Structure formats: structure tokens, C-alpha cells
Amino acid sequence: MTNSERRQKFVDWLNHAVDELAERHGWSLNEIAIRGQISVPQLRRWRQGLFDKAPRERTLVRFCEGLGLDPQEPTVIFGYRSDVYVDLLRDDAAELNPFEGYSISELQDATVKFRYILKDPTLSGERRAEIRAMLQEATTQYMRSLKTAHPEIEASPKRDSA
């Protein structure tokens, strides 16, 4: 992705987020800038794509956290983080049963990915709870699929406490 494409993608993400915050909470640009710990002129430049260098990762994270936004997408846009899991999080969080029809190996991969994501210290508490719930569902579905595919496998016996 070129710098110009990154800039436009960030501008689109930011304008959507700012408009949503203004509508949902009635916040002005000034209040959004204060909560996001940046200046109003900086926020305006970002919204218009008037910057040469990408914002620093810590600035993006601080901005997002101040507004209660997940910093994953903007940090991925600028290449600070891998985008491997962004679509997985967005799509799976929206579905009631996101793992129906997954193969055993896909379910196993999903559990590994969710455990990796949970190591991210910038995750909001709400997002962390969503991911934990998805991890639990993926693990449950994995165990069901494994038992169906291999009925000879039984739950490991409980150890006697001697």
C-alpha cells in the first residue's frame, strides 16, 4: 500500500469515527481533540489528510484510548501492527455463531490467533471481553468437532489426588 493510500484509508477511518462520536455523544471537534489528547488543528489536519509523515504509534494509541476506540485499525493502516487479525475480529464479532462449518484445523488456528490477540496490551476491556468470548466459543466448537471426528477420543481422566 502506498503512503497516499494509507493516508486516505486513515482519513476515511478517522472521519467515520469522529462523525460517529459526534453523533453518539454530541461531542464537538474541540472535545474530541481534548479527549484524544491532540490539538484541534492536528485533528483537522488528520481529517483532511494534510500530513506528510504517519502519526506515531503511541499518538494513535493514546488518541484512540482517550476516545474509547480500538487502536488496532489505525495502527495497522500505518504498518505498526500486522493486519492478519483485523478482518477476523471485525467479521467474527458480528456473527452469532462465527465458527459453524469451520474445519478442525481452522478452529485450532482460530484459538491460537485469539490467544495471540489477547496478548496485545492496547486492547480495550470491551474488545478483550469480546475476544475471550470468541476464544471460548472457538474452543468449545473445536472440542465438539474433535469428538465427532474421533469418537474414540475421550476426555482425559481426572487424576486422583493421592
Question: What is the domain-level CATH number for residue 30?
Answer: 1.10.260.40
Residues 14 and 70 grouped into a single domain:
yes
Total domains in the chain come to 2
Which residues, at least 6 apart from 28, have a Cβ–Cβ distance to it below 8 Å?
22
Do 12 and 71 lie in a common domain? Answer: yes
CB atoms closer than 10 angstroms to residue 89: 20
Low pLDDT (below 50) residues in the chain: 84, 87, 91-96, 156, 162
Record the cell numbers describing residue 150, joined without a space: 474421533
**Model pLDDT for residues 48-88, shown as the tens digit of each residue:** 999 888 898 889 989 998 998 888 888 888 877 655 455 45
Please indicate, yes or no, whether residues 128 and 68 belong to a single structural domain of this protein.
Answer: no
Distances (CA, A) of 87 to 33, 76, 78, 84, 91: 28, 11, 16, 7, 6
Q: What is the pLDDT of residue 81?
A: 66
Does residue 113 sit within a domain? yes
**Residue 154 included in any domain:** no
Same domain, 91 and 142: yes
Question: Looking at residue 96, what is its pLDDT?
Answer: 44
Q: Are residues 17 and 73 in the same domain?
A: yes
| pTM (two decimals) | 0.53
